[in-house]
């Protein structure tokens, strides 16, 4: 087997990795929940306007949590990688990424960085779509190896 056949070809840039199936489920459930709670707020006749508003605020808060959970993604471009997690966004140069790890049982990908830390990348998670996550992790690993200073850099 030749050297090029052994390693996956890096995808064209820019590329965005995100758990689309998980995201669709979260946003779908969030929308359905908001509509259901909103409908209940208006169907219950003996609620005061304040109580109706509190129903809607509760629905909005619950939905916003699901929207927050659907936020993670990993965006790779020529200059580096942007990791968007639940509440943080971090921009990395390719040279900062030493290794892309997705071990069996990991909830998501971890990036080993040149400063000795490890950064979780929640945009690639094997929860619902395991094969997609494995493929995404391999693609990101191939990009990091091709562009970074990782162990396979020539």
Q: Where does 38-117 show beta strands of DSSP type E?
A: 73-76, 80-84, 89-93, 97-101, 109-113
Rg (CA), the chain: 20
- Tens of pLDDT along 24-57? 989 999 999 999 999 999 999 889 999 999 999 9
Q: Is the pLDDT of residue 129 over 90?
A: no
The enclosing H or E element of 106 equals none
* Across 109-121, average pLDDT: 95
Check if CATH label 3.30.70 holds for domain 72-147.
no
What's the token pair of residue 29?
A: 């459930």
Decide: helix, strand or coil at residue 16.
strand
pLDDT at residue 43 in the model: 93
pTM of the model: 0.77
- Over residues 120-142, the mean pLDDT reads 89
Summarised one tens digit per residue, pLDDT across range 58-89 is 999 999 999 998 999 999 999 999 999 998 99
Domain ranges of the chain: 23-69, 72-147
């Amino acid at each position: 087997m030749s050297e090029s056949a052994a390693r996956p070809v890096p995808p064209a840039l820019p590329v965005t990795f995100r758990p689309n199936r998980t995201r669709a489920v979260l946003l779908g459930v969030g929308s359905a929940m908001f509509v259901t709670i909103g409908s209940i707020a208006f169907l219950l006749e003996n609620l005061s306007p304040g109580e109706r508003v509190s129903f809607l605020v509760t629905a909005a808060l619950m939905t916003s949590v699901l929207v927050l959970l659907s936020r993670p993604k990993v965006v790779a471009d020529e200059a580096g990688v942007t990791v968007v997690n639940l509440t943080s966004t971090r921009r990395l140069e390719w040279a900062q990424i030493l290794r892309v790890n997705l071990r069996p049982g990991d909830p998501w990908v971890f990036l080993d960085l040149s400063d000795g830390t490890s950064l979780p990348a929640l945009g690639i998670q094997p929860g619902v779509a395991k094969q997609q996550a494995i493929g995404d992790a391999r693609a990101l690993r191939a990009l990091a190896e091709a562009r970074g200073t990782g162990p396979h850099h020539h």
